[in-house]
Amino acid sequence: MALQKLPFRSLIDIDRNSSTPIFKQVANGIIQLIESGKIRPGYRLPASRDMSTIMKLNRTTIVAAYDEMCAEGWAEVLGKKGIFISKRLPIIKPKSFGIDLMKGDGDVSLPTFYNKVTFSRPPSRELKPYQLIINDGYPDQRIAPITLILDRYKALLNKPSFHGKLMKESSSGNQALRRELSIFLSATRALNIETENVLVTHGAQLAIFIAASMVLKPGSTVVVGDLNYVLADKLFEQLGAKLIKVEVDENGIDVDAIETICKNSPPDLLYVIPHHHHPTTVTLSADRRQKLLELVKRYKFPVIEDDYDYDFHYENSPILPLASADHSGYVLYIGSISKTLAPTIRLGYLVASADFILEASKLKQLIEIRGDVLFEESVAQLFNKGDMQRHIRRSVKLYHERRDQFCSMLETSMKDVLQFKTPLGGMAVWGTFDNDYSIPELVKRLASKGIHMNDGSVYRYSTRINGIRLGFASLNQDEMSKFVSALAEVKC
């Protein structure tokens, strides 16, 4: 195997007028490369003949330099293999992105040139493969048409005529997926949109980030629910906005309170989850929806409508989104394909006016030049062939059954300590305990039985709520039974 040679002549300065012998300058130069991390222990140096050619020096000078390094412990000769940088260096001065904690003057300070992130999830415990994981409401990826997507992906990858699209697709997303989404959303949500009204993103969270970034600046105000989707709240705060929290009850966000805020000073943004509010799962009532639209028209403030699981409604037909009504472009509609298929499939979308989408695509291009064009095209074909629609129908039927089974089990085994209402849709149950009941202690007891459940701390960051979301959609009947039985056993 040929030895890769560094450009040593440009890395080592030789001063022929210096009182330091040239062989010593060569040795010192290589040592400096070791200390700076440019050459690592175990690195094979060029043979003396090759090094003399690289450095344009006499071979005798290079041999003397190598001998000097070996004598000082910086290099070693390994038989006929050659000369190598010693793996046990006499002095190690690793370079780091951290700080020197050994300063004698005690003046230790962290760099302050970067912005701090205002939120991070609590660290998760190590999860063993055999453990049962209770999430906060994800689809069951075991029933997702992943094989269909991968088959189409491989077919497209081997299709020469498609290769041009890999570089030509815009940051707005794959054209076919945008077109299929516009057709699907128009048919299921009565959105009057075309392809140019859709931006495809790497998950709905990125869609929220892009939409909020287009609207907010430091000092902006955002009206949110209390409780609310915590990652959205922290995202807005990270952008420098101030949160104005409004109560959420069994009929959704308090629109009368929003009206009071608007009379004083309209917010710069409203974030609302009309279907299956996160975390409490409640749905915005029809009368509040109508009044909210009237407020949007009157006070002209933008709204991010997060409709992450609109398709999963079990009792009656879902109320149409705010975005389906006349809103003069003020409603920015966000949805998730991940919630339809599997959490590992990161696809979401933003629906807005064509002008807004054009500008949003420019911002998205600064974050990622384009998404996975092949994957997006594969998902587009699912919609085009009707596979996605069939998957949604099957999923709704299955999750409806699982919701009923899960709630029945909870009612039978946990009604003395857990309060909950059967959700009208979505993939999770919102349950609360008395304030003196320790969910973290309950979590520890479940962990001893090989079951992981979050401790609800993420919902207590602003309001004292002793509650958790219990995802049921990803659990089959045996898994539900195992979880609820264990929960009932450790609840006391």
- Residue that finishes a domain, picked among 361, 385, 409: 385
Q: Tell me the pLDDT band of 111, cut-offs 50, 70 and 90.
A: low
From 360, 385, 410, the end of a domain falls on 385
Of 362, 385, 408, which marks where a domain is finished? 385
Q: What is the CATH number of the domain that holds 365?
A: 3.40.640.10
Confidence of residue 120 (pLDDT cuts 50, 70, 90): low
182-202 per-position pLDDT tens digit: 999 999 999 999 999 999 999
Minimum mean pLDDT range among 19-33, 119-133, 385-399, 439-453: 119-133
Q: Kindly indicate the confidence band of residue 15, based on its pLDDT and cuts at 50, 70 and 90.
A: very high
| 379 pLDDT above the threshold of 50 | yes
Q: Are residues 179 and 40 in the same domain?
A: no
pLDDT digits 0-9 by tens, 225-254: 998 999 999 999 999 999 999 999 999 999
Q: Are residues 410 and 313 in the same domain?
A: no
Domain CATH code at residue 13: 1.10.10.10
Give the confidence band of 103 by pLDDT, cuts at 50, 70, 90: very low
Residue 163 has pLDDT above 80, yes or no: no
Q: Please report whether residue 328 resides in a domain.
A: yes
pTM for the whole structure:
0.78
Q: CATH code at 485?
A: 3.90.1150.10
| Domain co-membership, 182 together with 237 | yes
- For the stretch 280-334, pLDDT in tens is 999 999 999 999 999 999 999 999 999 998 999 998 777 899 999 989 899 999 9
> In the prediction, which pLDDT does 456 show?
85
In a domain, 102, yes or no: no
pLDDT for residue 344: 87
Residue 94's pLDDT is 52
Does the residue 119 lie in any domain?
no
Selection from 460, 479, 484, 456 nearest residue 468 by Cα:
456
Residue 308 lies in a domain: yes
Selected residue with higher pLDDT from 166 and 122: 166
Does some domain include residue 116? no
In a domain, 46, yes or no: yes
Tell whether 329 and 407 lie within a shared domain: no
- pLDDT at residue 205 greater than cutoff 80: yes
Domain span at 254: 162-385
* Residue 194 counted as domain residue: yes
Residue 254 sits in the same domain as residue 362: yes
State what percent of residues in the chain have pLDDT above 70: 90
Q: Is the pLDDT of residue 74 over 70?
A: yes
Same-domain status, 179 and 305: yes
Confidence of residue 75 (pLDDT cuts 50, 70, 90): very high
Residues 166 and 50 in one domain: no
Domain count, the chain: 3
345 with 409, same domain: the answer is no
Q: Are residues 187 and 41 in the same domain?
A: no
Mean pLDDT lowest among 96-110, 258-272, 318-332, 346-360: 96-110
**What per-residue confidence (pLDDT) applies to 310?**
92
Of 106-115, 140-149, 199-208, 372-381, the poorest mean pLDDT is in 106-115
Judge if 419 and 369 occupy the same domain: no
pLDDT band at 457 (very low <50, low <70, confident <90, very high): confident
Residue 357 lies in a domain: yes
Q: How high is the pLDDT of residue 465?
A: 84
* pLDDT average, residue stretch 449-453: 91
Average pLDDT on 6-28 reads 91
The answer on 309 and 209 residing in a single domain is yes
Q: Are residues 55 and 193 in the same domain?
A: no
How far apart, in whole angstroms, are the C-alpha atoms of residue 325 and residue 219?
A: 30
pLDDT band at residue 2, thresholds of 50, 70 and 90?
A: very low
